[in-house]
Amino acid sequence: MASLDFFAARDDQIAIVEFIWAETDFRIFETASRFGEPLREFRSVADIDAVARVGVCDRGDGLVHALQMWSPSVTKKLEIERIKLDPGACQGHTFRFNIRGAGLVQLYLGGAGERLLTKSHIGHNSETRARNWGHEDGIDWSALEKLSARLRYHVGRRLAVAKAPGRPVLPAAYELVEQGYLLKEFVQSDWSHEVTRNPAGRRGR
């Protein structure tokens, strides 16, 4: 599974999604719809902010947005599945929608809370893993890896100005570190990452 964990504050996350919209053919969706409503596609930062403010963690475990990215270069068909709900357990609602497919790329965005910043994540299935699950058909794995690698390189090498162990740290996130914020895997973690500035303040290469 190709993946990248990283630390990104609001301005960093906005730069990432704007890069995705401008420089790739990925379309960004929520993972699951609200009860009784269609699945939402996000076409602007304002669209995402309407669900929860990008990069701001004020509740839960620190995962502010769980987004899914679909590319027509990778799979020709956008798969949206209607899920039947038990109205007795779901405030009277009978359905919601999920986006599905082994060729999707996950974009999970953490956020800044009380003196801490939680990690963000980019990742997707490998061809081998998808084959083991019986879901490899109809996916251009070369196109998926090319798009994913381009995005991960942009985030992890071009944007990063510092690093935690195994995790690039982006500029706005590093500004929070300088203000005394802790970098954590999730809100409840009882430990935090040490951060090292890139040589001479340079971004990754």
pLDDT in tens, 87-111: 999 999 999 999 998 899 999 999 9
Domain range for 129 is 2-201
- Is the predicted pLDDT of residue 50 greater than 80, yes or no? yes
Could you tell me if residue 171 is left (phi over 0), alpha (psi between -120 and 50 degrees) or otherwise beta? alpha
Q: How many domains does the chain have?
A: 1
Q: What local confidence, expressed as pLDDT, does residue 111 receive?
A: 96
State the Cα–Cα distance between residues 42 and 37, nearest whole angstrom.
15
Q: What local confidence, expressed as pLDDT, does residue 110 receive?
A: 97
Q: What local confidence, expressed as pLDDT, does residue 48 receive?
A: 97
Q: What local confidence, expressed as pLDDT, does residue 150 receive?
A: 97
State the Cα–Cα distance between residues 1 and 123, nearest whole angstrom.
7
Question: pTM, whole model, 2 decimals?
Answer: 0.92
